[in-house]
Homo-oligomer: A and B are copies of this chain.
Amino acid sequence: MPLVRIDLSATRPPAVRRAIADGVHQALVDAIGIPAGDRFQIVTPHDPEELIFDPNYLDVARRDVVYVQITLVAGRPRELKLDLYRQITTNLTNVGVRPEDVFVTLVENALDNWSVGNGRAQLVDLGAVAGARVEP
């Protein structure tokens, strides 16, 4: 039940923005085992000056960063997270984003922190989420 925030330059055309969102989602499906239907994303285009980044911190040559922040239930093991970063980056590279410009950060929360419609806490009812080793 990830919530994905994608903040990127408005100079990337709408079709590319959508392809970027598709690529992030597919990586969540492939790397962590998120169900294909479990897709919730907020895309925010920005004037370029609103996206501030260092052009070479940690020896990564950035030019036009795509910020991806994913809130998801805790418990995915580290190896799945590392694979997620690789797959997001591969998928975004395939739609024209330079790999250096892919920035991802995760925020983890609990099963009872989600309501995805009708006022219910669906994950509490389900009792688990895909890809989590330790149930939070």
Chain A interfacial positions (CB closer than 8 Å to B):
1, 3, 7, 14, 17-18, 21, 35, 37-46, 49-54, 56-58, 60, 62, 65, 67, 69, 71, 78, 81-82, 85-90, 99-110, 112-122, 124
Contacts and interface: CB of A to CB of B under 8 A. Distances in A.
Most buried by B among A50, A58, A112, A119: A119
Nearest to A122: B58
A81 B99 CA distance: 33
A103 B119 contact: no
A85 B52 contact: no
| Copies per assembly | 3
B50 A45 contact: yes
A107 B54 contact: no
